[in-house]
């Protein structure tokens, strides 16, 4: 038995696959078996494995400056250059950027900065945050409270109420619409419910509304047309910030630079990014806020002598250098445009499976998709062990995908080719057929 406590793992089952190396869109296990990495690791290895330019950028930076703290006003060129490049890309107005190590800590940082800001402007009661059901915003204590998935709450006794988290409806039309309800009627109903919640809590107590433009771990939920426009109008009416969690959707995943672009959200007030910021070659995240929010924080920090928040590895120079090179490659090689083209091809291939006996809704944007496993006779989702079996059946075929609730998610590296998409879908179909047989054998239909 390993001494490692494995993350998001059945601790009794333990290790089921040991990956030893990767190259391009493929990884290899300790038995020499090859797998197409259809989840880009954890939604993150946009440029695939063994990218020589990123390895060289890390090596060069390690020789020059392997570590430097940013505490007490110290800085370094790699961090400064990354901040300037990132600020030129994001849709946040006059952005100011705090660097961390993961999407979870970026969202924790945002929670703290919201409190700092509203204290600074004399509105200490404005601390509550609206987060949606079926959402994922991280796993640290604060971020896990924002997350709307039961599995990430059970047994942890999270201080959800104490942190002022308000849970509202997910824009999950496929599973949550009422009989006969159109998408437009569904949007109207859940946005009206959101307004009722705001009024019940008191708008003066609510700081922000957090949303993934397209969800990840909860099932790649794509909101119906008009949803975000109505939500933004409602938040503006009640002076509540829109906080975009772009940890998964950022940097080309949805076929545009950011999910906010793809979903017509407009400029968010806050934005959290990580994962594809460095193509996962180094751990790095960024909590990005509007310039006026930052400005209000300056004098309070001066009054006490320090802004009392930071991590040992905030803007680690090696991570910053790799992230900067990653952003350069995205731009130089038109990776976002390529992701849009390959994503359209992937969706075309997946839509061809719509008549399969156990396939329900097929949805996604760019190189981010999900296939619902659905009992077409009853219009009900299969039990969760069916999607778990499907994930394992994919692995048996040499394809790594992820079950996200009642669906199977696709999130391959952005460098994937059409031929590799064909290979991925062919393996997926074989696993679908094996899963159909498993359902019949266990009389789950």
Give 239's Cβ-side CA count (13 Å radius). Answer: 8
Q: What is the CATH number of domain 335-441?
A: 3.90.1150.10
Position 442 scores a pLDDT of 85
Residues of the chain with pLDDT under 50: none
* Close Cβ partners of 444 (under 8 Å, ≥ 6 residues apart): 382, 383, 386, 438
Position 376 scores a pLDDT of 87
Query: What are the helix (H) ranges across 264-315?
Result: 291-304
Give CA–CA dist 101/261, Å, rounded: 25
C-alpha closest to that of 93 among 255, 283, 270: 270
Q: Tens digit of pLDDT for each residue in 221-270?
A: 999 999 999 999 999 999 999 999 999 999 999 999 999 999 999 999 99
The CATH architecture annotation of domain 53-332 reads: 3-Layer(aba) Sandwich (3.40)
Orientation angle between helical segments 77-89 and 317-332, nearest 10 degrees: 40
Within the chain, how many helices (H) and strands (E) appear? 14, 16
Tokens 């829109």 belong to residue: 242
Give CA–CA dist 54/64, Å, rounded: 15
Position 445 scores a pLDDT of 58
Residue ranges of domains in the chain:
53-332, 335-441
**CB < 8 Å & 24+ apart, contacts of 51-57:** 51/279, 51/281, 51/329, 53/325, 53/329, 54/278, 54/279, 54/281, 54/322, 54/325, 54/326, 54/329, 55/281, 57/321, 57/322, 57/324, 57/325
DSSP type of residue 405: T
Helix (H) or strand (E) holding 188: helix 183-201
Q: Tens digit of pLDDT for each residue in 378-426?
A: 888 898 899 999 999 999 999 999 999 899 999 999 999 999 999 999 9
């Amino acid at each position: 038995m390993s001494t490692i406590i494995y993350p998001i793992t059945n601790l009794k089952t333990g290790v089921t696959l040991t990956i030893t190396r990767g190259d391009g869109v493929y990884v290899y296990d300790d038995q020499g078996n090859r797998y197409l990495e259809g989840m880009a690791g954890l939604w993150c290895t946009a440029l695939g494995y063994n990218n020589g330019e990123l390895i060289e950028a890390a090596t060069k930076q390690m020789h020059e400056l392997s570590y430097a703290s940013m505490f007490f006003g110290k800085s370094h060129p790699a961090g400064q250059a990354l901040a300037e490049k990132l600020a030129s890309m994001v849709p946040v107005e006059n952005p100011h950027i705090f660097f961390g190590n993961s999407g979870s800590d970026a969202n924790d940082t945002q929670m703290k900065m919201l409190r700092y800001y509203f204290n600074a402007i004399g509105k200490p009661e404005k601390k509550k945050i609206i987060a949606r059901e079926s959402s994922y915003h991280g796993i640290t204590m604060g971020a896990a409270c924002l997350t709307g998935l039961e599995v990430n709450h059970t047994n942890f006794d999270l201080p959800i109420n104490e942190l002022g988290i308000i849970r509202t409806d997910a824009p999950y039309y496929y599973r949550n619409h009422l009989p006969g309800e159109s998408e437009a009627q569904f949007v109207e109903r859940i946005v009206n419910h959101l307004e009722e919640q705001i009024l019940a809590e008191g708008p003066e107590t609510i700081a922000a509304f957090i949303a993934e433009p397209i969800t990840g771990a909860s099932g790649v939920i794509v909101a119906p047309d008009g949803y975000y426009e109505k939500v933004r109008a409602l938040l503006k009416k009640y002076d509540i910030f829109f906080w975009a969690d772009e940890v998964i959707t950022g940097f080309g995943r949805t076929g545009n630079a950011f999910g906010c672009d793809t979903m017509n959200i407009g400029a968010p007030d806050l934005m959290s990014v990580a994962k594809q910021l460095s193509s996962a070659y180094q751990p790095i995240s960024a909590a990005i806020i509007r310039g006026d929010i930052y400005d209000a924080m300056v004098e309070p920090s001066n009054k006490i002598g320090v802004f009392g928040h930071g991590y040992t590895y905030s803007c680690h120079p090696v991570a910053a250098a790799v992230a900067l090179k990653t952003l350069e490659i995205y731009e130089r090689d038109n990776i976002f445009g390529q992701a849009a083209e390959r994503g359209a091809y992937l969706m075309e291939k997946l839509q061809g499976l719509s008549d399969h006996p156990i396939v329900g809704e097929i949805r996604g944007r760019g190189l981010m998709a999900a296939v619902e496993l659905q009992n077409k006779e009853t219009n009900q989702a299969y039990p969760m062990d069916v999607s778990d079996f499907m994930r394992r059946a994919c692995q048996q075929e040499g394809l790594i995908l992820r079950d996200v609730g009642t669906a199977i998610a696709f999130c391959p590296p952005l460098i994937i080719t059409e031929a590799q998409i064909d290979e991925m879908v062919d393996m997926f179909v074989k696993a679908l057929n094996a899963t159909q047989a498993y359902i019949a054998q266990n009389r789950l239909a």
